[in-house]
Structure formats: structure tokens, C-alpha cells
Structure 1
Amino acid sequence: MRIHQVSIFVDDQEKALRFYTDVLGFVKRYDVPMGEDRWITVVSPEAPGETELVLEPDRHPVVNAYKAGLAKDGIPAVSFAVDDVQAEYDRLGKIGVLFTQQPLDMGMSVTAVLDDTCGNLVQIVHLK
């Protein structure tokens, strides 16, 4: 068994697609119209045939309460592996990405947390 897709709830699918592709560097895999929404997935360019991130609309009231609770408590909705947290923090900071947590040495890993501009916190991590 493998992880096929993971969803992240976004307040604006087009804005999310631009952020996850243009800023974070993911690649669009699917963008299928579905009524007033779209089925949008992005993948890592390093593993395009593996796990897809689904950019789901967040209109359902339960989702909004969930997102608000996570953000209020500083809990990331998703975590992405990087080779070097400090380098990514520096690169993304230079292009205006807002971080809520600077790189932090956690013993076995280094993490940082950023705002995806669509209502979510995203953790980047590398294991030592």
C-alpha cells in the first residue's frame, strides 16, 4: 500500500496553484473543471509519478473550522521534505514568502513553517 493523494484545503484554487507551482516548485499534474471548482493536483518534479497533493476548495463549514483551528494553534496542515531547510528558508524569504517559524533544530531534524497564502501553514523539514 502506498499514499496516492493527500488533500490540502485552499481558499482560492487558482491562487493555490500559482503558489504551489510558481513559488514552491511543484508541477501541475491535473487541472480538470468540475462545476464551479476544479480537480487540481500537483506533484514533486523529483517524483512526478508518486504522491499527488490535491488543492481542494475549502467552502465546507467543517473545513473552515478545521483550518482556522490549525492556523490559530500554529499547526502545519502538511509537511514537505527538502534537502536543506536553511537554504529553502533563504530562497523563499527572498521572494516574499512569510514564515511563521524560522529554521529550528529539533534534534533529528530541522524544520521551518511558512504561510501558503491560502489559509494553511506548511512545514518544510529535513532529517539529519
Structure 2
Amino acid sequence: MPKQALPVVDLRAVACCPPIAVRPLDAGEAETVAPMFKALGDPVRLRLMSMIASAPEVCVCDLTPAFELSGPTISHHLKVLREAGLVDADRRGTWVWYRVRPEAFRQLAVLLQLPATADETVA
């Protein structure tokens, strides 16, 4: 069975989505954000994302030793994060440096916002 390639998400092309607590997503909105959630749904990618997000930028040479995985496997996971629109990368010499795309995380944060409940506002 052939592997399904994830489309590269262009966050500038879509002003997505009001909070899901405001109204249900339509099919197009769901297709826009699903690759980001799918990318973050893997424990290795979630850890990589956490490592990248905790610094202004991170060299792949600093990411790889944190895992008991081969370099090509780490590269695959980083590619998935890039294609989902969560990180940007720049090659500098032999190394690739990664940084978070803040607009992607702002978009996910807006999507996941819940209105304050009466219990939360009384505290």
C-alpha cells in the first residue's frame, strides 16, 4: 500500500477558523487544520516540536541525540512537521536549523479556545 503524502499547509492562504466551541468546523476548515493535528499526534513529533518550540531555533544536530532513532527517521518526522506548516527550516552548511511557525500555533490556539465557564470566572 503506498504511503499517503501530507500536503504542505500554507497558513497565509487560509484565515482559519473560529474556535470550535463557537461553531462546528466546515469540511474545508477541518482539512486545513487536520494535518497539523495529525503531525502532532505522534509522540516523537510532539517531543521534537516541544524541543524546537523551547528555543528560538534548533539545529538538527541537537535534536537527533535525544532519541534512540536513526537520523533518517528523525528527518522523516521533521519533514512531516514542515509539511504540516508547524516549523520552518534553513540549511546552513551541512546542518538544518528548525524554528516554530508562530502563526500555526496561534491558529491552533484560537481554534482550541473555550469560553470561560461560570465556575472559572468566580474563582
Give the structure with the higher percent strand: 1
Normalised TM-score (structure 2)? 0.24
- Bigger CA radius of gyration: 2
Give the structure with the higher percent helix: 2
Higher relative contact order (CA 8 A, sep 6+): 2
Normalised TM-score (structure 1)? 0.23
